[in-house]
Structure 1
Amino acid sequence: MKSADLLLDAFARIQETVHEAVEGLSEDDLAVRVDADANSIAWLVWHLTRIQDDHIADAFGTEQIWHNEGWATRFGLPFPEPDTGYGHTREQVAAVHAPGTLLLAYYDAVHAHTLAHVGSLTNAELGRIVDTRWDPPVTLGVRLISVITDDNQHAGQAAYVRGMVERR
């Protein structure tokens, strides 16, 4: 098994969790926040997808799907187009409303873009430096693990919120 196969498996598992967290819920359900400072499923899925889109595009020198395929316009959020949700206030979190079909369509487009790049990686390519702003500089392998970890955390949070929504 190659490292790329492990990475593909990890991203596939995230996709399953994202779909399980979103499918079958109304737009109102996706916007539920368990308290005023909590994140909704819609925000969590939008944010994890934006981060993946941003980081994958940067690591592979491509355009973000968000900009390149018009997702920013389709979502119509009141944020600057480059916004990924990092550091959002409670008001900004509350502004993320979207139907599940839109959230999943954007997620799946980013997922496909990710797989297209990750699937052909060699082990040697994982050592390529992709971000020199850190000490030590960040390699492609470390960046991909960072995205996977962040995505898993947010997808798990979305699944947890779904459970709370279903029990109310």
Structure 2
Amino acid sequence: MGVALLRDGFDRVREGVAAVVDGLGADELCWRVDPEANPLGWLVWHLTRQQDAQVAHLSGLPSPWRAQWSERVGLAYPARASGYGMSPDEVGRFSVGDGRLLVGYHDATHDLTMRWLDAMTDEDWGRVIDPGWDPPVIVAVRAVSILEDSEKHLGQAEYLRGLLLRRRGKAS
């Protein structure tokens, strides 16, 4: 049942990513409420990038970002960047021409996540991956953390979409 719940959660994020960028132009994807705020497109990239990096690490499978999407999307960041710890100036360099690139990258990351979940065994979930915590972090806890982080950032992006649509005069 646990894998089914995780699959459902990640499926919902996938649907939300497609919906949150739908119909937005490059300027809207990069719009910031203020100079220190994260733009909607950056939030979608970051939520996908953190999921990609962590699932690739846990699964031993190639990261879609590092394998092909970093070059395709063409952000002004090193391929290893995930958004974690970025300064407002670094975030401000985010630029993407088309939201479909973000959706494509998220779809590839979602596929990676599903392959990982499908390959997991009951024994895998209890494996300790970070003994530095009390209690030590196991794979199951990290999986929930990855999903939770994705959901939080998707919610932030959805809020920004609402602000953007209001600016256009189309409340949603």
Question: Structure 2 unaligned runs (5+)?
Answer: 168-172
What do residues 40-76 of structure 1 show as CA deviations (whole Å, max 9, x unaligned)? 11100000111000000111122211112x2111122
1:94 aligns with 2:108: no
Question: Which one-letter code corresponds to 1:90 in the other structure?
Answer: P
Q: Could you tell which deviates more after superposition, 136-145 or 121-130?
A: 121-130
Q: Distance in 1 between matches of 2:48 and 2:87?
A: 18
Q: Could you tell which deviates more after superposition, 131-140 or 153-162?
A: 131-140
Q: Which has the higher contact order (CA 8 A, sep 6+)?
A: 1
TM-score by length of 1: 0.93
Question: Which one-letter code corresponds to 1:95 in the other structure?
Answer: R
Note the 1:30-45 alignment, pairs <5 A: 30-45=29-44
Aligned Cα RMSD in Å? 1.3
Q: Distance in 2 between matches of 1:137 and 1:23?
A: 40
Note the 1:135-150 alignment, pairs <5 A: 135-150=134-149
> Does the CA contact (< 8 Å) of 1:4 and 1:123 recur in 2?
no
Percent of residue pairs identical: 42
TM-score by length of 2: 0.91
> Does the CA contact (< 8 Å) of 1:26 and 1:100 recur in 2?
yes
Q: Distance in 1 between matches of 2:59 and 2:135?
A: 19
What do residues 7-34 of structure 1 show as CA deviations (whole Å, max 9, x unaligned)? 1001011112211111111111111111
Aligned residues between the structures = 166
Q: Distance in 2 between matches of 1:153 and 1:54?
A: 17
